[in-house]
Amino acid sequence: MKPGNNGSACACVHKLRRQPVKTSTALRRLRLVSTPEAISFLLLLVCSVLKRTTDFNAVPVMGSIHGVLFILYVVFWADARNKVRWSNGRGLLLLALSVLPTGGFFADRMLRAEERTVAVTDTAAATA
């Protein structure tokens, strides 16, 4: 058997204390990608309008940037959903916000509040 993994109460407590950190990290990653994803979406919309009204065509570049950020958002959303165990409604709301032009800003605000709640819970658990 490996040291520290012998099924003792200490090992169980250690696992319980590590879970909020994983949750906090998952929320932070999702929050940090939500704002750039929203900005890239807005810039893509501006580039689309400029493409139709002028000779300026930045849609391929902006589309690629937005695509990468959107994929990161969905991957981080799935990770956070598994770790936080959101209700179906909350999980779908955060996913739906990623396809609205300014939704990422609202997602950032919601996730920031949830991060604070997890941090307070983590601090309370650590002092108990």
What are the tens digits of pLDDT across the range 64-103? 999 999 999 999 999 999 998 899 999 999 999 999 999 9
Least Cα distance to 26 among 120, 118, 127 occurs for 118
3-state helix, strand, coil in the chain (%, to 5): 85, 0, 15
Mean pLDDT of 12-16: 43
What are the tens digits of pLDDT across the range 28-61? 999 999 999 999 999 999 999 999 999 999 999 9
Binning pLDDT at 50, 70 and 90, where does residue 13 land? very low
Half-sphere exposure for 19 (CA within 13 Å, toward CB): 12
Binning pLDDT at 50, 70 and 90, where does residue 19 land? low
